[in-house]
């Protein structure tokens, strides 16, 4: 009976174990990740892995590759020492890899949550910008009909434009700050110099977004102030309001009154000529189409789940590690059974 058991377990080792190893020997994603030039660096960049996690993960993957190479059927059958090394090293490595798998999933979830939040902010900003363009167009078209309505719509559009710019800048700051936080997380003890460089790069990326945004906000706020002053003036001066409406509609008022309207209501649709309003409306129409296109794309991305490329890359690696460890675990179990049943390795 014992002889039959030994023969069966020996058969189990010599038939099933090679199958597990053959599955691990192919040029799978992990092999390419570790062997191909630039593959690891490209993955770290795409996944936006924190530096310390990337270093630790690279070491574990190297150990995993070495252990997989050690798990060679012929060598293990001929070399008892290699078999013992594999059996001794695998449990500890398995625990390390499982911890990294857990961290990869956690980091992917956190990255995706942030990405979804930023996508929502982008939708809000695009909505503000789209409505701003629409109201600006309505303000231009209503200038010959109602002066107060034109000014109020234009002023509201300018306010939404400021809100859109502020939201976009805030979203960019959050993205950059989060990226930097992930890159230096738990990595201060031996990389202070690199942290300083990365902090400088992050600050530079954030600062680069401010000049144009500041110019846009300043310009819109100045225009908004002009519109509010003009609205107050036309409400207090019916004659000015009448002249502004006629000038916008026909342009046929005495030159002196026309100059007064343009000087008093400068910067508003009421002070523009028909040609100037057409040019402004054309630019606003182009901007509206661009903002609407951006809104549609961002909304579609959000509706489809706002998947982050970084999170996807992290989950793909976690899945490959899980598959690799599953195969190694089966091989470990088979080898352990063979070791227990037949301690002395045979040569085939």
- Whether residue 284 sits in one domain with residue 179: yes
- Whether residue 248 sits in one domain with residue 217: yes
- Whether residue 133 sits in one domain with residue 92: no
Q: Which helix (H) or strand (E) holds 329?
A: helix 309-341
Cα 307 to Cα 103, 179, 273, 339: the distances in Å are 19, 16, 48, 46
* pLDDT for res 155: 92
Taking the whole predicted model, whether its pTM rises above 0.75 is answered as: no
Largest CA distance in the chain: 120
Residue 185: phi and psi, rounded to 5, are: -55, 125
The residue segments making up the domain with residue 225 are 125-307
- Whether residue 292 sits in one domain with residue 165: yes
* pLDDT for res 228: 92
Domain count, the chain: 2
* CA nearest to 312, candidates 115, 144, 141, 24: 115
Averages of pLDDT over each 10 residues, the chain, 348 residues: 42 40 46 72 72 76 72 56 76 87 86 82 88 90 86 92 90 75 47 54 70 87 91 88 82 82 85 82 86 82 69 84 84 75 50
Tokens read off for 79:
């070399």
CB 177 within 8 A of CB 202: yes
* pLDDT for res 198: 58
* pLDDT for res 55: 77
Tokens read off for 105:
């999933």
Contacts of residue 338, defined as CB under 8 A and 6 or more positions apart, other chains included, come to 9, 10, 12, 13, 17
Tokens read off for 286:
């182009």
Kindly compute the dihedral angle of the four CA atoms of residues 56, 33, 327, 93, in this order, to the nearest 10 degrees. -20
Residue 119 resides in a domain:
no
- Whether residue 179 sits in one domain with residue 91: no
* pLDDT for res 152: 92
Residue 178 resides in a domain:
yes
- Whether residue 78 sits in one domain with residue 49: yes
């Amino acid at each position: 009976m014992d002889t039959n058991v030994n023969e069966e377990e020996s058969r189990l080792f010599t038939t099933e174990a090679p199958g597990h190893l053959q599955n691990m020997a192919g040029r799978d994603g992990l092999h390419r990740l570790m062997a191909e030039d630039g593959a690891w660096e490209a993955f770290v960049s795409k996944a936006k892995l924190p530096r310390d996690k990337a270093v630790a993960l690279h070491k574990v993957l190297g150990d995993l590759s070495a252990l997989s190479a050690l798990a060679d059927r012929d060598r293990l059958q001929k070399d008892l020492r290699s078999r013992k090394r594999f059996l001794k090293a695998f449990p500890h490595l398995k625990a390390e890899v499982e911890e990294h798998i857990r961290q990869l999933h956690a980091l992917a979830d956190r990255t995706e949550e942030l990405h979804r939040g930023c996508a929502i902010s982008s939708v809000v900003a695009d909505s503000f910008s789209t409505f701003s363009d629409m109201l600006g167009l309505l303000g231009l078209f209503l200038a010959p009909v109602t002066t107060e309505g034109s000014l109020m719509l234009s002023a509201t559009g300018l306010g939404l434009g400021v809100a859109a710019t502020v939201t976009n800048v805030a979203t960019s700051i959050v993205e950059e700050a989060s990226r930097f936080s992930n890159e230096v997380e738990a990595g201060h003890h031996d990389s202070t110099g690199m942290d300083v460089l990365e902090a400088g790069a992050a600050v530079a990326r954030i600062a680069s977004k401010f000049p144009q945004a500041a110019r846009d906000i300043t310009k819109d706020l100045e225009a908004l102030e002009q519109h509010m002053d003009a609205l107050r003036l036309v409400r207090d001066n019916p004659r000015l309001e009448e002249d502004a409406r006629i000038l916008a509609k026909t342009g046929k008022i005495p030159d002196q009154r026309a100059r007064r309207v343009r000087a008093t209501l400068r910067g508003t649709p009421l002070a523009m000529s028909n040609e100037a309003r057409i040019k402004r409306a054309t630019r606003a129409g182009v901007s509206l189409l661009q903002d609407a296109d951006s809104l549609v794309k961002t909304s579609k991305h959000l509706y489809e789940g706002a998947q982050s490329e970084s999170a996807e890359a992290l989950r793909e690696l976690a899945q490959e590690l899980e598959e690799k460890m599953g195969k190694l675990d089966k091989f470990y179990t088979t080898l352990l059974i063979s070791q227990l049943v037949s301690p002395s390795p045979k040569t085939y």
